[in-house]
Structure 1
Amino acid sequence: MDTSAKPTAAAQDELATLDALLAQRDWWDQFYANRAKPVPFFGPEPDECLSGWLADGIVPRAGAALDIGCGNGRNAVLLARCGFAAEGIDYSQAAIEWAGQRVREAGVTVRLHHASVFDFDLAPDSYDLIYDSGCFHHMPPHRRDDYVRLVAAALRPGAWFGMACFRPEGGSGLSDDEVYERRTLGGGLGYTEARLREVWGDLFNIHELRQMRSQPAGSGLFGEAFLWALLAQKKG
């Protein structure tokens, strides 16, 4: 499918068909419904990479920030505490409700949105930082390039994009073709370093791409070695 221009009506119908094939909204609501499950990222700790980039001054701590796939709000809360006008968006209503509780408990302000990022009206050149912790690796292959362009369009020139996503050992091992043959992402797709550079390198200058650092108990940060940490700056 050619997604380089505005989709035709036929292309939009094809996108809708593929989206329906891999729809997971109910699954995510059920996933977030039991907050006591032993899921590593169900805690309040923000990602070690995001915390480090902000603490080191690599990413300026000012302006508007969006947390895509914000889950329970742990990274959005950090962004608000660092002085950003912070927003979070998630596909799951259960996740947004949990994030709202976290935001209130933290005493910060975060605008939360329950929506698919593809249905949400992201104004062009409106964010200084966009962060994605675990959304991209759940992106179906037919939406991958659209997502990169959407993120780039929403950022101001020279603004920053940060991401945590599955390395090959963290993902399902499925190829793009197998995703559609089996009608599942298998829990998320893993990416090689070369593939990430290929996908993000056209519209972004990649500043850092490394293995996420595992965190000891009590560190106050989240990190797992089966994830990548990527920091990139929008070109132009």
Structure 2
Amino acid sequence: MRMGLPILIFEYELHSYDFIYDCGMFHPLAPHRRLTYLIIIKKALKKDGYFGIVCFKTEGALSTPDWDIYNDKSIKGGIGYTKESLKKIFDSDFNIKEFKE
């Protein structure tokens, strides 16, 4: 069972990045990989750093509930996110400035 891309282990200085931009790494991650993803982003960003992300929305990919991903053993090409689902994932760790389609 292969779900999502592997999380690569790489070296970086803690809290050394002013800006981290993700274009296409988040939507193919299996739900359990989101935790490691968030930990890496938070550890790499400076205190007042910025994080930008581009990912599939539900019009471009299925909005598959986490349980269905594990039950079906597939992310079906990537997970689509609504504004609300992204808020649920990121809001407790980041100060969301804006959403753009």
User: Could you state the TM-score of these two structures normalised by the residue count of structure 2?
Assistant: 0.87
SS of residue matched to 1:162: strand
In 2, Cα distance between the equivalents of 1:180 and 1:23?
A: 9
Q: Structure 2 vs 1, CA of residues 186 and 153 (structure 1 numbering), >3 Å: closer, same or farther?
A: same
Larger Rg over CA atoms: 1
SS of residue matched to 1:146: helix
Unaligned runs of 5+ in 2: none
| Greater RCO, CA 8 A, separation 6+ | 2
- Name 2:32's counterpart in structure 1: 142
SS of residue matched to 2:98: strand
Match among 82, 98, 101 for residue 208 of structure 1: 98
Sequence identity (%): 35
SS of residue matched to 2:52: strand
SS of residue matched to 1:141: coil
SS of residue matched to 1:136: coil
- Name 2:2's counterpart in structure 1: 22
RMSD of aligned C-alpha atoms?
A: 1.8
In 2, Cα distance between the equivalents of 1:23 and 1:191?
A: 17
Contact 1:125/1:155 (8 A) holds in 2: yes
CA shift for structure 1 position 205: 0.7
Query: More helix by proportion, 1 or 2?
Result: 1
Q: Structure 2 vs 1, CA of residues 178 and 145 (structure 1 numbering), >3 Å: closer, same or farther?
A: same
**How many positions carry a matched residue from both structures?**
101
In 2, Cα distance between the equivalents of 1:204 and 1:157?
A: 11
Query: More strand by proportion, 1 or 2?
Result: 1
- 1:179 aligned onto 2:53: no
- Name 1:121's counterpart in structure 2: 11
User: Could you state the TM-score of these two structures normalised by the residue count of structure 1?
Assistant: 0.40
CA shift for structure 1 position 123: 2.6
